[in-house]
Amino acid sequence: MMKAGELAAQALALAGRHAVAGISTWELDKIVDEFIRSKGGHCPCKGYGGFPGHNCYSINEELIHGIPSKRKILKDGDIISCDIVAELDGFMGDNTKTFKVGTVSPEAERIMKFTEEALYKGIEQAVAGNRIGDISHAIQAHVESGGYRCAEKFCGHGVGREMHEDPEVANEGKAGHGPRLVPGMTIAIEPMVNSHSRKVNVLNDKWTVVTTDGSLSCHFEHSIAITDGAPVILTLESH
């Protein structure tokens, strides 16, 4: 899991370095796929439920599951969420960051700050003896303290030999509720945050999830392991 996580994190960082004005999300996806394959891994999102890309790239009001496209070209002021999954030696690493393209608005800076902080508030709760609801509650509380809402319908998940395993890790919930966390569990925590309303739509391409009001959204994700001690972030560029 650490090796797969490391590869996913390196691929995500690579995507971030290439996320500059003028590049298309198709080109970004190609760079990421070639890197992951060069390290002996592959991209399990390709073909997952028919998904046409290797990974997901979502710009501005696009929250998640953006399909790589030659027609989606980054421009100064955009924010882009790169959601990268790598499989290596039978295990999955899943992580997401939202990157700035050039100079972005203060609103974009702020939603990025709150979303990333919410991820770490969730991770702090990922300790043995706590419950999934403790993670959900910590994320929700931080997101709402910024005046934002976690998006409806989508959540984090167990991760391991499969990309999506039990349990669900909701971004809203009650402390003290849900499955108990035990050492050895590995989960993906992924706050998906909208500027105003929690409502989302899926576009006609059947994948891209957008805010219904067209306002900005943001997404950060790590795969983590529950241990006897502090949570271990698996999706780091080096361990």
Q: Which residues of this chain interact with ligand MF3, rule CB under 6 A?
A: 45, 48-49, 51, 56, 65, 83, 85, 94, 188, 190, 221
Distance CA 6, CA 238 (A): 6
Please enumerate in sequence order all residues whose Cβ is within 8 A of that of 124, keeping only pairs 6 or more positions apart, or say none.
138, 231
Which residues make up the interface to Co ion (CB under 5 A)?
94, 188, 190
* Smallest separation (angstroms) from ligand MF3 to the CB of 134: 21
Distance CA 236, CA 87 (A): 15
Residue 48 contact partner, candidates Co ion, ligand MF3, none, CB within 5 to 8 A by sort of partner: ligand MF3
Across 21-178, where does the E strand assignment appear? 56-59, 62-64, 79-88, 91-100, 149-150, 156-158, 165-169
Q: Which is nearer to Co ion, 90 or 106 (CB)?
A: 90
Token pair, residue 219, equals 């997404």
Q: Which is nearer to Co ion, 78 or 190 (CB)?
A: 190
Taking CB atoms, the residue at the shortest distance from Co ion is 188
Q: Which is nearer to Co ion, 124 or 165 (CB)?
A: 165
Q: Which is nearer to Co ion, 19 or 192 (CB)?
A: 192
CA 148 to chain centre: 17
* Smallest separation (angstroms) from Co ion to the CB of 165: 11
